[in-house]
Chain A
């Protein structure tokens, strides 16, 4: 079942085109990473799915209904970036309040607080919580009523590595149970193993969407071979030059190893030839990371100019 579907969606605010012809979908039991710099249209996309705004053009359908319909929002969990709560209330009181609004059973509240590691702090006022504790409370809030669609904006901000690992484990469990999850994060390397597909937005347009290997293929970015020479660097360099079908391979020396950038289509032929040459002691293959792919799609210098993926 489709969790949401955006069809040719544009959003105009004043004269600015904030989103331009976006097509995006999320299926049940799938984790989608949504990446983009500040002002790329990420928050607008989330707000359109939540029904907080209506598109200027195109169609947004969520959980088989209209975005913003109370019967639909009842099944959506949302963790905003920098989530804030009423400081004078306790974690438990806050969750009770939101559970009532969602029509979720109150018995879920202590269970969820335990699940996110706030069992001992549930009766303390939120103003005494650390940022990480507020974030965990926000997550518990998003999980109220066992949502079918979960949207998390920067969920790992303020979490220590153990809590982050716990969060990702929990998300995988929810995905396996059929929840559709959207994950917006600027911590790209950490998120890579946990997403099924990535969508990259820039300047209101969807630049690329797909699983990581599809994105790598689409980007056609070089793969880096890290080679330890068997008989010294010059002999290995000669072997590489002889084995390479195309000229001008990018070769760097690094701690006695050679780092060679090769097109994915030429990778296997080069490896085969090098292994046959007998000049290779050890060989490692480094695929472009999600961050590399992201930088490729938002354009060179994107990170420097835009202050990082947001």
Chain B
């Protein structure tokens, strides 16, 4: 455990040193406040609209931003050590590959968690203090749910980035593949699902289709943050499939947890079989 913490501690201090943590937190805070106040500007209204609308907008933006930041933070975790010439040296220490990988995950995961907590937390507190008629309890619950799911989504993409990082031997290749992952889950997947939906002309089992959403952590994340507002929640596009899912919020949380546990375990297995 000491070795894991030593690796994590270095990652954390690196993200403080290179200002990653503070930069991410700042971006989150500015975006959250911007969306809270100007999110409804398109409909001719400036000012805080409602908590569900704000969270839905934040989640829509989050699916673009969080995976990108997580992938950027983590894509060079192992390949960067290898290219920098430190991986071989690290592996001659009493440190297993699993300890190195989990230490990195702890460090990157905590960096993202702190940045999310600080960025969106500050925004939440600002809304609670500045908006007069906001229901603070509901806001706190929605914000907490949003922050925790954002952290889990970020961890998922950190683990996906590790699957690349332990496999390739050049950083630019890792960066390219990480962007490919972002492109697939954030831009392509829903279009593909929509395409399957239209092309199948109802021939596909209606019970099966909603489950396909579970194959994309960003869809789970959006469902979690929108479905939580109950019957009146607006599910648009492929997310409307989610209304037919026979699992509740707990199931969605579980799926989001699996989305970082399974890729992390896969990255570990891939790393163990790698020749150094």
Binding site for B on A (CB under 8 A): 50, 52-53, 70-71, 73-74, 76, 78, 80, 82-86, 88, 97-98, 100-103, 141
Contacts and interface: CB of A to CB of B under 8 A. Distances in A.
A50 B96 CA distance: 13
A74 B84 contact: no
Contacts of A70: 94-96
Interface string B247-276: 000000000000000000000000000011
Interface of B (DSSP majority class): helix
A135 to B, nearest CB: 13
A103 B276 contact: no
B86 A76 contact: no
Given A52-B276, A100-B2, A100-B6, A85 B86 contact: yes
A70 B2 CA distance: 13
A27 to B, nearest CB: 21
Interface string B1-34: 0110011001000100110000000000000000
Given A80-B88, A101-B3, A74 B10 contact: no
B236 interface: no
A101 B6 contact: yes
Of the listed residues B2, B85, B89, B91, the one surrounded by the most CB atoms of chain A closer than 10 A to its CB is B89
A74 B94 contact: yes
9 contacts: A50-B91, A70-B95, A76-B92, A80-B89, A84-B85, A88-B14, A101-B7, A101-B94, A102-B93
Contact of A88 (B18, B85, B95): B18
A102 B95 CA distance: 8
Given A97-B6, A100-B6, A101-B3, A86 B94 contact: no
Given A52-B276, A88-B17, A88-B18, A101 B90 contact: yes
* Minimum-distance CB pairs A-B, first 3: A84-B85, A70-B94, A100-B6
B86 A101 contact: no
Interface string B77-117: 00000001110111111111000000000000000000000
Contacts of B85: 80, 82-84
A177 to B, nearest CB: 22
A88 B80 CA distance: 14
A85 B2 CA distance: 21
Contacts of B17: 88
Contacts of B275: 53
Contacts of B6: 97, 100-101
B94 A73 contact: yes
A124 B42 CA distance: 53
A73 B88 contact: no
Contacts of B88: 52, 80
Contacts of A103: 2, 94
Contacts of B7: 101
Contacts of A100: 2, 6
B28 to A, nearest CB: 25
Contacts of B96: 70
Contacts of A80: 85, 88-89, 92
A264 B93 CA distance: 47
Of the listed residues B17, B92, B275, the one surrounded by the most CB atoms of chain A closer than 10 A to its CB is B92
Nearest to B84: A84
Contacts of A82: 85
Interface in B48-87: 84-86
A70 B91 CA distance: 10
Given A74-B94, A101-B90, 5 more contacts: A50-B91, A73-B94, A80-B88, A88-B17, A103-B94
Given A82-B85, A86-B84, A102 B91 contact: no
Contacts of B91: 50, 52
A202 to B, nearest CB: 23
